[in-house]
A and B are shown apart, each in its own frame.
Chain A
Amino acid sequence: MANITMTVNGKSVSGEVEGRTLLVDFLRTDLRLTGTHVGCDTSQCGACTVHVDGIAVKSCTMLAAEADGADVSTIEGQANADGSLSAIQAAFQEHHGLQCGFCTPGMVMAAADLLKKNAKPTEAEVRHHLEGNICRCTGYHNIVKAIMAASGQDVSQLAAE
């Protein structure tokens, strides 16, 4: 067992974990931050995407002990300080970028990662960036649209509907 301390969504947290405990299990089970989801066991689906020291990682592929001392942010920490939805979250609602909601936390975290690196991504860049995030409900149309809208681009002419 190892004692670990990290910052999660701006708060310092500590815990005792087995060496084999995954970061996602520490977040979900120990911290009860159940917004981060597990959709597969091969690091393919991206539902567990969080940010560690500002970089998007799949928390099913990282040991909790590896995140000792890190600054972690999850879906629970994405809203604005006043509780209102962030620009990305708001765009997902506005453009119907989610249905069952299970992949959504990972999509939002992946989108935040993209927009940090590329303020005005093209459609192709958005689609490429989402290669590690699977959605089974939306057919991606409205996710791509939402992310482009969140970047401030006019999406009204993107596709005939």
Chain B
Amino acid sequence: MPKDSGIGASSKRREDVRFLTGQGQYTDDINIHGQTYVHFVRSDVAHGKINSIDTSAAEAMPGVVRIFTGADFEGIGGLPCGWQVTDRHGEAMKEPAHPVLAQGKVRHVGDPIAAVIAESLEQARDAGEALNIDIEELPAVVDMKAALSEGSATVHDDLGDNLCYDWGFVEENKGAVDEAIKNAAHVTTLELVNNRLVANPMEPRVAVGDYNRANDESTLYTTSQNPHVIRLLMGAFVLGIPEHKLRVVAPDVGGGFGTKIFHYAEEAFCTFAARQINRPVKWTASRSEAFISDAHGRDHVTKIELALDADNNFTAVRTETLANMGAYLSTFAPSVPTWLHGTLMAGNYKTPLIYVNVKAVFTNTVPVDAYRGAGRPEATYQLERVIDKAARELGVDPIALRRQNFITEFPYATPVAVEYDTGNYVATMDKLEEIADISGFEARRKASEANGKLRGLGVNCYIEACGIAPSNLVGQLGARAGLYDAATVRVNATGSISVMVGAHSHGQGHETAFPQVVAEMLGIDESMIEIVHGDSSKIPFGMGTYGSRSIAVCGSAMVRATEKIINKAKKIASHLLEASEADIELKDGQFTVAGTDKSCAWGDVTLAAYVPHNYPLDNIEPGLEETAFYDPSNFTYPSGAYACEVEVDPDTGKVTVERFSAADDFGNIINPMIVTGQVHGGLAQGIGQALMENCAYDENGQLLSASYMDYAMPRASDVPFYAVDHSCQTPCTHNPLGVKGCGEAGAIGSPPSVVNAVVDALQSAGHNVTHIDMPVSPSRVWAAMNS
């Protein structure tokens, strides 16, 4: 029987009611008395020298309050980078300045040059048109190989060249890996592109800055996945505002997918400008503006080699990747192609020797940073594609080749520095074969052929490192922050509970799932518990939501805080029941004395805590509120096996996803309905990457895909119903809930199986096609079939 409450129940989401009735409170829904509107005037060239900016005509326009340019930010900090990568020679990465408004040069289309504040948005835009900006266009650097070539123009002249870092991992293994590849019975090589994407949460970014002169306090309302991180970065590194004078609020946020992790110029600007003009300043991105100012994702060019012995055992993996950083280093950009990518190159397999080389490159494009999966999709894609190619070259079944090389014993220390605590890759593959009806595929292929279509089956596995992350470890790896999380459990006098959590919910359903955990621990009704998130003035601290970390890290903090509550409540109960504390049991919201019929209710204890008339005041403080910080001791390692079946129309090259099946191991699950929904959404994004999404620049650095007319995202008719199963559960061994996280799996795991399926379909019809780069668009498929 499925549970109807607590851990494991598919509780209906309580946040839905406000969203379904139009009562959500997103940042753009916030309007403050006296607010002004800012319009950013952005570069329309990819690379140029700013000769002059004449604001005089614009300043005379109706409604204009003030115009800011880069000169107003001289002496003020630039946007900081939160992760320093050390290269293979022991040198720190190159770290360019990133001013809030451009100073001297513009470096990508969309780089903000000036900010016009006016009484209305229309007036601000009109005045923006009247700015006279003289920019001398310079040659743009767009292609990564060209950017590294001798004589290339430089994005940052003071850095000498466009190489941010040259990272090797594990550097000591390089010689052994080279040797193993030289001596292998078979080596499969694949060169591929992991296409540049734009996350495109449906809510564009918004920032509202407010300033209270009476107490010198700034408030920023912003579309963020991590308000405390923004407070830390903006307060300490950009504007020099101490934490106690800076409040950051992220109310309802309409999706993030990574792109709302980072600290952006517009946030710092609105906070700064509100202090300068002593009025609230509001900015709402248009979608076109989002395309040229939100950090992009992926954009790797990779060569991978897989070595096998005569028995088809994997003996070594070697990769070379160029990773695009764009024009500046976004908040966590350097970590994505390195520690979030190289450490996953073992995948689900016992490959003994691995070497990963990544060169990060500056180009005149929008900065690139984490997008759903962040490094792990890039690792999974190349590994699972090269395995598939190897199977075809060797004439063996791709599933059998994977099974043969699975890691089967845990804990397992990979040669790329991480230790998988648990997993059962055989079980998830068994489950996949069942739910995807792999044995029935040939019959479906024949049916498709009878309809004039080519049908293909693609399978892949994935592993990810989630629950980011042990602070001492990431500190050694270059992170400039700790990655713990925090929760405060505040029990009120009448027994209701507010839980202030550092994780932020922007679609993940925390307001429903987190109370399920506390309700289970206390044995009280979920409706008595409310989650508070997204406001730095209400919650103790928090590193926010990304990397599938919310339940694994913040959920664990919440468990630790609730355990403290239970300990104290038992002390109070033992006093009320005149019994030994060791004999007190808490079950179904009742405190009982073991072996007796003496009991008192949850509400009796909570009331006593706040009305301590009969209370052990000599031993315990009144009140019932506890805080815990939780720092994980390891990453978590969700894993799974996915299968995609496609039909290819041989006349047009159009690919249709007919079936998609996902068997995941997320460890223990709090709310199966929500977890399934997270996988669905990830799958659509992964299928989107594989088939249609592409962020394209021309050779001059103009963004060609800068609107929803040009950037193709999946619509309802582009995807099928998905078959999703998460019954294979190997609980995480090192966090109190045994949870692993589920938010990114779908996006990480799905692109390779789509491409594997397309290649299978084409090969089944005799086409000698071994690879097509994503997005596998009709034109690319048609060209591959007709080359």
Binding site for B on A (CB under 8 A): 18, 20, 28-29, 33-42, 44-45, 47, 74-76, 78-79, 85, 89, 92-94, 96, 98-105, 108, 123-124, 126-128, 130-131, 133-145, 158-161
Kindly supply a per-residue 1/0 record for chain B positions 5-42, scoring 1 wherever the CB is within 8 Å of any chain A CB and 0 otherwise: 00000001101111111111110110100000000000
- In the bound complex, do residue A99 and residue B435 qualify as a contact, i.e. CB atoms below 8 Å apart? no
8 pairs, A vs B, C-beta closer than 8 Å: A28-B29, A35-B22, A92-B16, A124-B717, A127-B716, A131-B716, A159-B723, A160-B723
Query: Does any Cβ of A come within 8 Å of B445's Cβ?
Result: no
Q: Select one of B202, B253, B507, B723 contacting A45, CB under 8 A.
A: B202
Given A35-B24, A44-B708, CB of A139 within 8 Å of CB of B722: yes
- For the complex of A and B, 8 pairs with smallest distance between CB atoms: A35-B22, A102-B254, A101-B19, A139-B684, A159-B721, A100-B507, A44-B708, A99-B507
Q: How far is the CA of A65 from the CA of B495 in the complex (A)?
A: 53
How far apart sit A125 and B508, CA to CA, in the bound complex (Å)? 28
**B29 A134 Cβ-Cβ under 8 A:** no
Q: With A39-B204, A140-B684 known to touch, is A93 a contact of B287 (CB < 8 Å)?
A: no
Cβ contact of B22, chosen from A36, A103, A128, A142, cutoff 8 A: A36
> Known contacts A100-B253, A130-B716, A160-B435; is A138 also within 8 Å of B680 by CB?
yes
With both chains docked as a complex, state the minimum distance between the C-beta of A65 and any C-beta of chain B, in angstroms.
15
Q: Which residues of B contact A128 (CB under 8 A)?
A: 716-717
Whether B717 and A93, one on each chain, are in contact in the complex, defined by CB atoms closer than 8 angstroms, is no
Are A137 and B716 within 8 A (Cβ)?
no
Given A92-B16, A128-B717, A141-B722, also A33-B681 (CB < 8 A): no
Chain B neighbourhood of A104, CB < 8 A: 19-20
Decide if B65 is an interface residue (CB 8 Å cutoff): no
Residue among B19, B122, B202, B288 with the most chain A CB within 10 A? Answer: B202
How many chain B residues touch A (CB < 8 A): the figure is 62
Q: How far is the CA of A74 from the CA of B253 in the complex (A)?
A: 21
List residues of chain A with CB within 8 A of the CB of B252. 100-101
Q: Is the CB of B204 within 8 A of A140?
A: no
Establish whether residues B13 and A39, one from each chain, have CB atoms under 8 Å apart when the complex forms: no
6 A-B pairs besides A20-B122, A99-B507 with CB distance below 8 A are: A38-B28, A40-B708, A42-B708, A101-B16, A135-B716, A137-B681
What chain A residues lie within 8 Å of B478 (beta carbons)?
Answer: none
Residues of B within 8 A of A (CB): 12-13, 15-26, 28-29, 31, 122, 200-204, 252-255, 257, 286-288, 435, 506-509, 673-674, 676-678, 680-685, 707-709, 713-717, 719, 721-725, 746
A41-B680 in contact given A92-B20, A102-B203, A160-B723 (Cβ < 8 Å):
no
Determine the distance from Cα of A134 to Cα of B707 in the docked complex, in whole angstroms: 13
Residues in chain A near residue B254, CB distance under 8 A: 37, 39, 100-103
Across the interface, which residues of A come within 8 angstroms of B715, CB to CB?
127, 130-131, 133-134, 140
Contact of A42 with B681 in the complex, beta carbons under 8 Å: no
- B122 x A18 contact (CB < 8 A): yes
Instruction: Let me know if B12 and A100 touch, CB within 8 A.
Output: no
Report the minimum CB–CB distance from A117 to chain B (whole Å): 17
A80 to chain B, nearest CB (A): 11
Are the C-beta atoms of B716 and A126 separated by less than 8 Å? Answer: yes
- Known A-B contacts A139-B680, A143-B716; the reply to A96 vs B674 at CB < 8 A is yes
A41, B121: Cα distance in complex, Å: 15
| Given A93-B16, A158-B721, CB of A99 within 8 Å of CB of B677 | yes
In the complex, what residues of A have CB within 8 A of residue B15's CB?
Answer: 101
Residues of B within 8 A of A140 (CB): 680, 684, 714-716, 719
CB distance from A90 to the nearest CB of B (A): 8
- How far, in whole Å, are A160 and B31 apart by their CA atoms in the complex? 45
Pair B21/A35 contact, Cβ less than 8 Å: yes
> Min CB distance, B392 to chain A, in Å?
29
Residues on A with C-beta less than 8 A from B26 are 34, 37, 102
Chain A residues positioned under 8 Å from B28 (CB to CB): 34, 38
Q: Which residue of B lies closest to A129 (CB)?
A: B716
Question: Considering the chains assembled together, what is the distance between the CA atoms of A133 and B708 in angstroms?
Answer: 11
B126 to A: closest C-beta gap in Å:
11
Q: Are A142 and B677 in contact (CB under 8 A)?
A: yes
Minimum distance in angstroms from A11 CB to a CB of chain B: 15
Whether the Cβ atoms of A136 and B716 lie closer than 8 Å is: no
B673 → chain A closest CB, angstroms: 5
A78-B22 Cα distance, complex, nearest whole Å: 9
User: Nearest-CB distance from B662 to chain A (Å)?
Assistant: 10
- B506 partner residues in chain A, CB cutoff 8 A: 100
Q: Across the interface, which residues of A come within 8 angstroms of B203, CB to CB?
A: 37, 39, 100, 102
Partner of B681, one of A34, A41, A136: A136
B713, closest chain A residue (CB) = A134
A28 to B29, CA, bound (A): 8
A158 to B707: give the CA distance in the assembly, Å: 34
- The residue on A at minimum CB distance from B257 is A136
